Amino acid sequence: MIFFFSVLSFSCFAQAPMQSVDVAEFEKLLFATKAEQLIDVRTPEEFTKYHIQNAKNINYRNANFKREIEKLDKSKPVLIYCLSGARSKMAMQMMHEAGFVAIYELNVGINGWLKARKPVVEDLSGTGELSSAEYNTIVAGKGFVLVDFYARWCAPCLKILPIVQDLEKTHAGRFKLLTVDFDRNRLLVKEKCIVAVPYLIIFKDGKKIWEKQGEATKEELMTILELPN
């Protein structure tokens, strides 16, 4: 049965040089190819904290990306993924232009993989991270606390981060800002069930009063934090 499945899968590669697939199909392809050319195109920092077993890290954002993919076997299928599917789609196109015969990308990224409860190699030591106890102490404080879970590779995060930092500076003493790097605090984000960024949470006197996954406007935040115009 294993041999039959492998032949069937490989016979499809020539017909579909590029294809975005869901978690179930990606898992089947991993099995069929024995993860021989499984590529994680995220940053080294992201990769170190968690990745799919047997993956090799080639950072799509690195200037050497084109040079590094040339070291792969273009005649064999390549399976790629990133966090949510954005970078892997761009990497897939670049690989296609470079002459790879079969490229499959995980359309929901490793985030979708985790949501489907698929296994990863993950650093949950908590070493050098903000601990859950420290986090809980901060958000339990008196007054308003704004928590911003962000990542350095996330464009919406980099748009929101200076906004919240400016609010903290302009309205000094009116609220406390806690920024949490998603990639450097894997144990904490797992404990708090944060699976995507940006993720914003506002506490008042220790009670969570608002949270949002995705972008938020300055005006929206000012209203909830009761800041004057």
Structural domains in the chain, CATH included, are 2-122 (3.40.250.10), 132-224 (3.40.30.10)
Would you place residue 184 in the very low, low, confident or very high pLDDT band (cuts 50, 70, 90)?
A: confident
> Dihedral through CA 85, CA 89, CA 95, CA 97, nearest 10?
180
Residue given tokens 């930092």 in the structure block? 165
Give the predicted TM-score (pTM) of the model: 0.67
Instruction: Take residue 120 and report the two structure tokens written for it.
Output: 């990863």
| Cβ atoms 147, 194 nearer than 8 A | no
Which residues are marked as active site? 154, 157
Return d(Cα 141, Cα 96) in angstroms, integer: 52
Of 161 and 126, the one with more pLDDT: 161
Q: Is the pLDDT of residue 45 over 90?
A: no
pLDDT average, residue stretch 145-165: 93
| Cβ atoms 58, 88 nearer than 8 A | no
Residue given tokens 């106890």 in the structure block? 133
Return d(Cα 181, Cα 28) in angstroms, integer: 32
177 CB-near residues (< 8 Å, 6+ apart)? 145, 146, 148, 164, 165, 167, 168
Q: Is the pLDDT of residue 69 over 60?
A: yes
Residue given tokens 């995060």 in the structure block? 157
Instruction: Take residue 39 and report the two structure tokens written for it.
Output: 């590529």
What's the pLDDT score for residue 16? Answer: 58
Instruction: Tell me the torsion sign for CA atoms 64, 67, 69, 71.
Output: negative
DSSP assignments along 36-47, one per residue: TTEEE-S-HHHH
pLDDT average, residue stretch 120-147: 93
What's the pLDDT score for residue 14? Answer: 45
